[in-house]
């Protein structure tokens, strides 16, 4: 293996986008340091033009550091520098997808539709209510009812893009799994996890057996952590 640069990921393990990247880094055997910070902290602002998470800092001897943000751009960097084991759908591996790029479609939908549907509209309110001890469970359920209905739609649509068993694309683990997993692991850790279908629960179980999933769970909602 050629000499890889050093890598530092800026983002709390609680951040779902950050976890998608640490899942990929670990799966590819890329060592990294992690600066566990929240969005819009001084350190997040210093490394990301919009103060968001994550940023990957790539340090190469004799060269200026590169700061790479946007998780899909980081995933492309990881794939280019360490192609194997692959997290892509090769032309002969896809099951449901008509073309390998469908995997990136799934990734993009997980971020653009899934993050708001899971985290912003539902999980965030539930966690706040747990931490504050108010509103009551029934008041909270009433206030997030619309969000939960939207979330059911999101889950059904994503499930429609998935193979019937195994990973998102059946036997082949891909970035699609790593981008959806942190969101649904958070959802499962809340009472609203009750809306998860049998297929999604089965998928979460399969994912939960991966070493990289176990290794990236400290600091997440599922183990009771906070940002
Ligand atoms: N498109 C970005 C989204 C990253 C993102 O939304 N990260 C969350 C934390 S998981 C964040 O920084 N939120 C703060 C904000 O939206 O201002 C990516 O793919 O990296």
Instruction: Delimit the domains of the chain by residue range.
Output: 6-81, 102-220
Q: State in words which class domain 6-81 has.
A: alpha beta
CATH placement of domain 102-220:
1.20.1050.10
SS3 content of the chain, % helix, strand, coil (to 5): 55, 10, 35
Question: Residue 70 CA: which ligand 1 atom is closest?
Answer: 20
Q: Please report where in the chains the tokens 């393990």 appear, as a residue.
A: 13
Query: Strand 33-35's sheet: what is its strand order?
Result: 33-35, 6-10, 55-59, 66-69
- Report d(CA 44, CA 26) in Å as an integer: 22
Asked whether the beta carbons of 24 and 17 are under 8 A apart, the reply is no
Q: Residue range 86-109: average pLDDT? A: 82
Kindly report the protein residue whose alpha carbon is nearest to atom 1 of ligand 1.
70
Per residue in 152-195, pLDDT (tens digit) is: 999 999 999 999 999 999 999 999 999 999 999 999 999 999 99
Pocket test residue of 39, 78, 110, 113 for ligand 1, highest count of atoms within 8 A of CB:
39
- Give the pocket of ligand 1 (CB within 6 Å): 15-17, 39, 52-53, 70-72, 111, 115
Q: Is the pLDDT of residue 96 over 90?
A: no
Q: What is the pLDDT of residue 4?
A: 86
Cα 54 to ligand 1 centroid, rounded to whole Å: 7
Q: What are residue 22's phi and psi, to 5 degrees? A: -65, -30
Q: Residue range 21-50: average pLDDT? A: 98
Cα 111 to ligand 1 centroid, rounded to whole Å: 9
Pocket test residue of 14, 50, 52 for ligand 1, highest count of atoms within 8 A of CB:
52
Q: Is the pLDDT of residue 28 over 60?
A: yes
Q: What is the pLDDT of residue 80?
A: 96
Q: Residue range 33-52: average pLDDT? A: 98
Q: What is the pLDDT of residue 92?
A: 63
Cα 132 to ligand 1 centroid, rounded to whole Å: 24
Per residue in 120-159, pLDDT (tens digit) is: 999 999 999 999 999 999 999 999 999 999 999 999 999 9
Kindly report the protein residue whose alpha carbon is nearest to atom 13 of ligand 1.
52
């Amino acid at each position: 293996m050629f000499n890889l640069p050093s890598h530092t990921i800026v983002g709390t393990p609680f951040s779902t986008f950050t976890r998608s990247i640490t899942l990929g880094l670990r799966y590819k055997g890329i060592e990294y340091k992690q600066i566990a910070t929240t969005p819009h902290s001084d350190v997040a602002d210093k490394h990301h033009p919009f103060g968001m998470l994550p940023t990957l800092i790539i340090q190469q001897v004799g060269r200026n550091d590169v700061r790479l943000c946007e998780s899909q751009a980081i995933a492309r960097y990881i794939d280019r520098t360490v192609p194997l084991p692959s997290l892509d759908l090769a032309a002969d591996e896809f099951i449901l997808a008509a073309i390998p790029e469908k995997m990136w479609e799934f990734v993009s939908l997980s971020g653009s539709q899934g993050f708001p549907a899971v985290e912003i509209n539902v999980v965030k309110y539930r966690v706040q209510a747990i931490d504050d001890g108010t509103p009551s469970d029934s008041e909270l359920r009433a206030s997030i009812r619309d969000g939960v209905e939207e979330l059911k739609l999101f889950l059904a649509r994503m499930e429609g893009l998935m193979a019937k068993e195994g990973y998102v694309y059946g036997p082949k683990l891909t970035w699609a799994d790593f981008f959806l997993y942190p969101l649904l692991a958070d959802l499962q850790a809340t009472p609203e996890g009750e809306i998860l279908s049998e297929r999604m629960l089965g998928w979460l179980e399969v994912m939960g057996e991966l070493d990289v999933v176990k290794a990236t769970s400290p600091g997440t909602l599922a183990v009771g952590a906070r940002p």
